[in-house]
Amino acid sequence: MRPRPLVAVAALVVTTLALLVAPAVAGATPRPATGVGGAAVAALPGQQPDAPADDGTGGSAESEDEVEVPLPDEGIIPMPNSGREPTEAGERGGALQVLVFVLLVAGVGGIVAMIVRESRRNRSARSAP
C-alpha cells in the first residue's frame, strides 16, 4: 500500500479526535442553572453554591420571590443501564437508529472511496505519455 492513502487516513483520524477533544481541553464551564423567573436552582450535592451578589443595598441578597426548585432524586443525568430496552424500531437505540448510523458511515466511506479512485485516475492520466 502506498504511503499517501495512509497519510490521508491518519490525518482524518487526528482531525476527528481533535474535534472531539477540543471542547474538553478548552475548559468549558457550565453556566449556573436558573429556574422559572430566573430563580437560582439548588446546587448539586458536593457543589458549592455561588456567593450572593452584593447589590449595594446592604440587605440580604436573597428575596422572598426566589423559590428553590428541587432536583429529581436520580439527578439530571441517568445512571448507565438504568433505562429500558427499545420496544419499537424508531425508539432511541432501536434498529432504525442503528440503520441510520450504518448508512451514514457507509455514505462517508463511499465518498472517500470515490475521492481516492478519482485521484488515482488523474494521477495515472498525468503520468501516461
- pLDDT tens by residue, 60-113: 545 556 777 765 666 777 778 877 888 887 788 888 888 999 999 999 999 999
Mean pLDDT (the chain, rounded) = 74
Alpha-carbon distance of 48 to 108, in angstroms, equals 45
Handedness of CA 92, 96, 100, 103 (dihedral sign): positive
Rounding to the nearest 10 degrees, give the CA dihedral for residues 6, 10, 11, 16: 140
Alpha-carbon distance of 20 to 71, in angstroms, equals 30
Alpha-carbon distance of 32 to 2, in angstroms, equals 52
Whole-angstrom CA distances from 80 to 26, 31, 54, 56 are 26, 25, 41, 46
Q: What's the pLDDT band for 116 if we cut at 50, 70, 90?
A: very high
Q: Which three cell numbers stand for residue 120?
A: 488515482
Can you tell me which residue has the cell 443501564? 81
pLDDT > 70 in the chain, percent: 59
